[in-house]
Structure 1
Amino acid sequence: MDAGGNWATVGQRSRGGRRVHKQREKRKGKSVGLRIGTLNVGTMTGKGRELADMMERRKVDILCVQETRWKGSKARSIGAGFKLFYYGVDSKRNGVDVVLKEEFVRNVLEVKRVSDKVMSLKLEIEGVMLNVVSGYAPQIGCELEEKERFWSELDEVKESIPMGERVVIEVDFNGHVGEGNTGDEEVMGKFGFKERNLEGQMVVDFAKRMDMAVVNTYFQKREEHRVTYKSGGRRTQVDYILCRRGNLKEISDCKVVVGESVARQHRMVVCRMTLMVCKTKRSKIEKKTKWWKLKKEECCEEFRQKLRQALGGQVVLPDDWETTAEVIRETGRKVLGVTTHARGDREREPSPVF
């Protein structure tokens, strides 16, 4: 009810709620919202512009891409304001990329192309360090040695990242973590898909070992928005996003995007992340003596008189210059005042004292 005794409408209440929310956000400090995703494209050949258009349409800022099958280690524009950083050694298999919205390209500090299955980018966004890792795990039928090499590379990349920096790991793990989280509550939620397999257990073990959380599993979605791979009658969840457990609160949503045709079998997984930017402490401003007032005759005369009194009535300055300089500075502060850095205060060249 308002001051006039009328009941407020739903719209009025929501507008007021938004104002309060904005005020709270202002008190907390600045934040940067990001939409970060992952997608196994099967091949990047002929799909650059299509991928960029999808990212623009779905408002995705950063996308990790797997199984690109591009040979080389370069960065190139793919149109629509997006740039792709890629690495691959064979045009027939593997290959990983990270695609950035053009406005974030200047924020890239480091690119690590570890192998054709693991690469990472380090960005600095409003003072926050964000590490994005793209990975493609060996398929179930691959040799044990190849699987061990992948996990070793992923471990090495994760361990090289300083504790204070954000980490988002986006990988086609080719494994199922499964539905439910009994015994694994510290690293995953209940909303996986179907049964866990050996490769999925390796994902959970990695999360425990590295203090990470499997983001997909924390958000209750209908089955269609949890399935990341569809082929014929087969439906599975193999593409996952992981973040530090301590930063899980910065992710407000994560789901599978349906209705896109860039990839034939896989679907894009996207999470919404909000980086809280700490306010920088204002440096203490040094107050300066208003020496320019000595250009005024009355100020100059008062300063001379006060200085003589402070020096004990001596006309000739004492030999101890350090002591004399401090007396001059202190007298100047008392007689002339100091700056407050308010409008109108400005530093000027001092007039000669003697």
Structure 2
Amino acid sequence: MEQALRHKLEKPHELEIQQKSPLASGEGTSQESRQEPEKLVTRKDSKKTVKVKFGTWNVGSMKLKNDGEIVVPNGGRSLNMTKFMENKELKALSVQETKLVGEGEVILDEEFGGEYKMYYIGESTRKNGVGIILHSDLQKNVKVDRVSDRLIVLTFMKYDKVWHIISAYAPHQGHSAAVKRKFMEELEEYVRLFPESDIIVLCGDMNAHVGESSDGYEGVHGGSGFGIRNPEGGRLLKLAKTLNMAVVNTYFEKEGRYRITYKNNKNETQTDHILLGKDHLGFIEDCEAIPDGFDEILQHKLLVAEFLVKNDNEGEDQNLFDFSDKNNNVGEDQNLDENNNEW
């Protein structure tokens, strides 16, 4: 694992890894001292609020062009990510299975204004690969931690809160139980670094079926999932319970097509998820899969969560970090690897 987060946050945000992961022994913590929300009620008490959409999408593959354009290829067609995010009104999008090589940051379509920037990491074998695309509203004082080709974490201050967005790509069927367990333990270790007062958004292709009903995971599973739970889904729910988080996309009653995130011929499942700390579920206005548009022809569907947050656009965003460390890759756009110009 790469070196742990190099955060230098102002008090009272002090980061430290807690006790050894209970997932290693298959046991979760009781969390008896923490209160669970009785129901999902959006906080509408603020006079100045704004709706913000965050999404997650397994794109299957990506191509970076020298002019800063990022496209998703499929069947001879390509999708410009800037236009896609503008059309979907997304402020942030976590992407998985990009199959990009190396790591870096790139401003999308800079010659046309460059409102979006992608932070990514991949490996030379062109498997896996994860990234997060941010709108310019969220790009000030971003802290990037590229953990592996399956895990990337961005931290920033916005909407009067500290945010941690995690893009995760869990090992799929065919990988050993040991590989899957190691990934979950690594994921838990990083989430535990953050104070519960911060907004932690864990999203990605978790390759886990959490099932339609909560069935023993009330307060973690909202009872509006899809399909039948599998062992990977059970482990994800156990992780969520341990971390005092909830699977947001199971909290909204939707037609099946708005819950399905993966479709391959007649096989329809829900493998992509958005998790959020229970204490912040009240910020969620809606969450659903988007079955129409370009992403309809891809196997994985875009999953979007809509937040209702304080509008702080008129104020100054706080600087949380000391950027004296030149190795933290923040605020410096890196040159594109020529290998990423190939399909």
Could you tell me the TM-score, scaled by structure 2's length?
0.70
User: Which residue in 2 is equivalent to 1:255?
Assistant: 288
- Aligned 8 A contact 2:159 2:310 in 1: no
1:198 positional shift: 0.4
Task: Give the counterpart of 2:200 among 146, 167, 172.
Answer: 167
Closer, same or farther: CA 85–162 of 1 in aligned 2, 3 Å: same
> RMSD in angstroms over aligned alpha carbons?
1.9
Task: Give the counterpart of 1:53 among 78, 83, 106.
Answer: 83
1:33 positional shift: 2.7
- Aligned 8 A contact 2:107 2:117 in 1: yes
User: Which residue in 1 is equivalent to 2:147?
Assistant: 114
1:34 positional shift: 1.3
1:220 positional shift: 0.5
Q: After the TM superposition, which residues 81-230 of structure 1 pair with which residues of structure 2 at under 5 Å, given as runs?
A: 81-108=115-142, 110-230=143-263
- Aligned 8 A contact 2:160 2:310 in 1: no
Q: Residues of 2 paired with 1:146 and 1:181: CA distance?
A: 26
Q: How many residues align?
A: 253
> Any gaps of 5 or more consecutive residues in structure 2?
1-42, 65-70, 73-78, 313-343
User: Which residue in 1 is equivalent to 2:274?
Assistant: 241
Task: Give the counterpart of 1:33 among 51, 55, 64.
Answer: 51
1:125 positional shift: 0.6
Q: Residues of 2 paired with 1:53 and 1:63: CA distance?
A: 13
Code of the aligned partner of 2:246:
A
Closer, same or farther: CA 277–77 of 1 in aligned 2, 3 Å: closer
User: Which residue in 2 is equivalent to 1:316?
Assistant: none
1:89 positional shift: 1.6
| SS of alignment partner, residue 53 of structure 1 | helix
> Any gaps of 5 or more consecutive residues in structure 1?
1-23, 279-354
Code of the aligned partner of 1:245:
K
Could you tell me the TM-score, scaled by structure 1's length?
0.68
1:161 positional shift: 0.7
2:307 maps to 1:273: yes
Task: Give the counterpart of 1:65 among 88, 92, 95.
Answer: 95
- Deviation per CA, 1:201-227, whole angstroms, max 9, x where unpaired? 011001111000000000011001010
- Aligned 8 A contact 1:260 1:267 in 2: no
Runs of 4+ in 1 over 6 A off after TM superposition: none
1:54 positional shift: 1.1
Q: Residues of 2 paired with 1:130 and 1:259: CA distance?
A: 29
User: Which residue in 1 is equivalent to 2:10?
Assistant: none
| SS of alignment partner, residue 200 of structure 1 | helix
- Deviation per CA, 1:328-353, whole angstroms, max 9, x where unpaired? xxxxxxxxxxxxxxxxxxxxxxxxxx
Question: Rg: which structure is higher?
Answer: 1
Code of the aligned partner of 1:265:
Q
Q: Residues of 2 paired with 1:257 and 1:157: CA distance?
A: 29
User: Which residue in 1 is equivalent to 2:329?
Assistant: none
| SS of alignment partner, residue 80 of structure 2 | helix
Relative to its length, the structure with more helix (as a share) is 1
**Larger deviation, residues 152-161 vs 41-50:** 41-50
- Deviation per CA, 1:111-165, whole angstroms, max 9, x where unpaired? 1111111111001014310110000000021022221221122111100112221
> What percentage of aligned pairs have identical amino acids?
34
Q: Residues of 1 paired with 2:91 and 2:289: CA distance?
A: 16
Q: Residues of 1 paired with 2:130 and 2:211: CA distance?
A: 25
- Deviation per CA, 1:301-329, whole angstroms, max 9, x where unpaired? xxxxxxxxxxxxxxxxxxxxxxxxxxxxx
Q: Residues of 2 paired with 1:200 and 1:95: CA distance?
A: 22
- Aligned 8 A contact 1:68 1:96 in 2: yes
